[in-house]
Amino acid sequence: MKNKLIIYVLALAVFLIGTIEYIITGIIEMISMDLGVTTSEAGLLVTVFALSAAIVAPILIALTINVDRKKLLMVTLSVFIASNGLMFISPSYETTLWIRIIQGVSGGIATVVAMAVATRLVEKERRGRAIGIILMGLSSSLVLGVPIGTFFSEMFGWRVLFILIGLLTIVPLLIVYNKIPAIQEEEEEEAVTLRMQFLHFKRFKNSDCFGYYFILYRWLLYTLYLYYAFLASHLHSFDNRN
């Protein structure tokens, strides 16, 4: 498979994005205490991330469908990095909610674009494998990222974790800048407007686009399920103690 190392670097970027989304479930009590809010209010930090990625990200992806994929990926990764820095200095719960919205939008776009870029960097018969590697990074963020991130937060504080993730994300950003060429829509494909995107989506003509959106929504729905399952378990344990 061509550009195998770059595909794994893109998977690393998605791993870091997934860790930032899922990590709230592991450090929710730390955040609620630090920001002076209840556990359920802190849980909204998960909800706004997922909803902004599910609602805003697909619209922006459609609006920027003719933009160079490399530039779009670099911009969204840069915004994601900056948002992690803002989490470190966020003074209030309300500000943190807005930052999580930014993280949801930038992370959602970056995840989908990373999959799209991966399919352009490999042979056509290897595209499914390339997407599988990207999704492996996303799955690993739940299996490895959350436990490691939770342990790190207990040692150094949850805000420091966001700084660390932001710094680590600079590595994929630099490799995208240096190693990935400009990627436009293929010449045989006509320019796609927002209206055409929805028509293609409805008719299943743009199977790649549909596949990316389907994967994104499955990911976001699972995130919400994970959070509410955790919250229900937390409340059940609280009731038993009382």
Range with the poorest average pLDDT among 4-8, 67-71, 126-130, 189-193? 189-193
Query: pLDDT, tens digit, for every residue of 70-86?
Result: 999 999 999 999 999 99
Contacts of residue 23, Cβ cutoff 8 Å, sequence gap at least 6: 145, 146, 149, 150, 153, 161
Rounded Cα distance between 149 and 160, Å, is: 10
pLDDT band at 192 (very low <50, low <70, confident <90, very high): very low
Instruction: Determine the pLDDT at residue 28.
Output: 87
The amino acid present at 35, given as its one-letter code, is L
Report the C-alpha gap between 21 and 49 in whole angstroms. Answer: 7
DSSP 125: G
Task: Give the pLDDT score at 143.
Answer: 85
Task: Output the pLDDT for position 231.
Answer: 57
pLDDT at 238: 45
Q: Could you tell me where the DSSP H helices lie in the chain? A: 4-22, 24-35, 39-63, 69-89, 93-121, 127-140, 146-156, 158-179, 194-203, 207-241
Enter the CATH code of domain 4-241.
Answer: 1.20.1250.20
Nearest-10 crossing angle of helices 4-22, 24-35: 40
Global model pTM greater than 0.85:
no
DSSP 180: P
Q: How far is CA 67 from CA 2, 61, 212, in A?
A: 24, 9, 17
Domain boundaries, the chain: 4-241
Both tokens assigned to 75? 């911009």
